[in-house]
Amino acid sequence: MKYRFNDKRDWFFQERFGLFVHWGIYAVEGWHEQLQWRQSIPKAEYVKLKDRFNPTLFNPDEWLDLCEEAGITYLCITAKHHDGFCMWDTKATDYNIMNTPYRQDVLKMLSDACHRRGFRIGFYYSCPDWHQPNSLNFGRHHSLPQPNPGDQPDLLKYIDFVQQQVTELCTNYGTISEFFWDIPQEMNFPQLNETIRRLQPECLINDRGYGPGDYSTPERHIPEGGSFTKPTEACDSVGRCSWGYRRNEDYYLPVAIMRKMDAILSRGGNYLLNVGPKPDGAIPAEAAAILRSIGKWYKTVREAYTAEPFAFEQPVWNATFTRAADGTLYVHFPSGLLATGFELPLDTPPKSVTLLNNGQILQANVELMPSHALQNKQDLHITGIAPEKLLDTVPIIKISW
């Protein structure tokens, strides 16, 4: 990766796999995190969900135990989503976690556990707000079609509200490593990002807020092209339908997530994988099982992502590559292996060839292959693979000289 900040934000290029957490009072209904907007529920009715939100099974150490199993080293949790409900003890509004039956600051509980156990913590903050009376709800992107009864839309007053909350989040929760704005507002209020940078010098700021950020955030897709040209953190969820908890969720196969994850990591990006905890605070069993399955794979191949993106002059079959400073080459097969062997345009015999997924030593010979016989050009031919045993994973092969 050619880009660096050359300051404390460079943690981002070492800790590549994070957990995204969408959690709020919308979990009570178990339908979608944008329940209020998508079902046109009046504010006066929607706010009653806070009286039923009592996550007595929330245990931040259990969340972090799961992160350790998955190889995850940092978390980003929704401090405030579009519905405006705040998951911390904010003084800017009484629409917060302290006015639920639970009456505990879950951001404080989670951030304390993260700092104690060596995880980084970041906060998501929605620019639209469907509750705060000064916010603008006139049908813009992810805004209500019109203000709530009694609202007094006022952009500058709303920005003052946001400034107060940003200051709280960057002051009361120790070191914050990431600030994830959501829904670009196409307006510039530089004082907001300046506050974050002043109070949290290690904190990266994404590109969805009120001014330029440090990194881009492709969502649920893999951008075109080769290696990334700027810091990038792709985000996706274990479920197809919702980011928040959904009772009848369509969960992705772990291998489908591995393939997207490999495509991002091998290009130099970070991967932020989301789960939606249940209203009681527990992570759904299906989501936890997916994280554990991904972790078994990721821990065996993680060294391939400490290397830099690499490409041969001509595309090679269905493979992508990363290469370490010492020349070690990692061959990634995000779509899986379709045969028992393959060749690469290399003519130097390697010291060893290893299938990282299981430690198997593979055969490798420099020889004349039919594909390049007319050019009288030899290739590195790698054989002895059992592709049928790798259908539920992303194979990665390490070649050392």
Closest CA to 100 of 260, 279, 351, 367: 279
Closest CA to 134 of 90, 168, 84: 84
State the burial class of residue 44 (Cβ atoms within 10 Å of its Cβ: 0-12, 13-18, 19+): exposed
Q: Are residues 266 and 353 in the same domain?
A: no
Q: Are residues 98 and 181 in the same domain?
A: yes
CB-CB contact of 324 with 344 (8 Å): no
Burial profile 332-365: b = 16 or more Cβ within 10 angstroms, e = fewer: bbbeebeeeebbbebeeebeebbbbbeeeebebe
Query: Is position 2 within any domain?
Result: no
Q: What is the DSSP letter of 244?
A: S
Q: What is the DSSP letter of 190?
A: H
Give helix 60-70 / helix 285-301 axis angle, nearest 10°.
Answer: 40
Q: Specify which residues 270 forms β-bridges with.
A: 233
The enclosing H or E element of 367 equals strand 363-368
CA distance 343 to 359: 20
Q: Are residues 261 and 396 in the same domain?
A: no
Q: Which pTM value belongs to this model?
A: 0.97
Q: Are residues 181 and 286 in the same domain?
A: yes
CB-CB contact of 372 with 381 (8 Å): no
CA distance 92 to 106: 17
Q: Are residues 83 and 214 in the same domain?
A: yes
Q: Are residues 263 and 361 in the same domain?
A: no
Give helix 254-265 / helix 285-301 axis angle, nearest 10°.
Answer: 40
CB-CB contact of 362 with 331 (8 Å): no
Range of the domain at 154: 8-305
**Last residue of one domain, picked from the residues 240, 275, 305:** 305
CA 219 to chain centre: 9
> 159 — phi, psi (to 5°)?
-65, -35
Q: Are residues 226 and 79 in the same domain?
A: yes
Q: Which amino acid is at 171?
A: T
Q: Which CATH number is 387's domain given? A: 2.60.40.1180
What's the total number of domains in the chain? Answer: 2
Q: pLDDT 10s digit of each residue in the chain, 401 long?
A: 678 999 999 999 999 999 999 999 999 999 999 999 999 999 999 999 999 999 999 999 999 999 999 999 999 999 999 999 999 999 999 999 999 999 999 999 999 999 999 999 999 999 999 999 999 999 998 999 999 999 999 999 999 999 999 999 999 999 999 999 999 888 999 999 999 999 999 999 999 999 999 999 999 999 988 899 999 999 999 999 999 999 999 999 999 999 999 999 999 999 999 999 999 999 999 999 999 999 999 999 999 999 999 999 887 878 999 999 999 999 999 999 999 999 999 999 999 999 999 999 999 999 999 988 888 999 999 999 999 999 999 999 999 99
CB-CB contact of 383 with 348 (8 Å): no
Q: Are residues 162 and 126 in the same domain?
A: yes
**Last residue of one domain, picked from the residues 305, 330, 358:** 305
The helix, strand and coil proportions of the chain, stated in percent and rounded to the nearest 5, come to 30, 20, 50
Q: Are residues 133 and 240 in the same domain?
A: yes
Residues 6+ apart with CB under 8 A from 214: 5, 9, 204, 205, 206, 207, 231
**Last residue of one domain, picked from the residues 270, 287, 305:** 305
CA distance 180 to 125: 6
Residue labelled with tokens 């401090």: 79
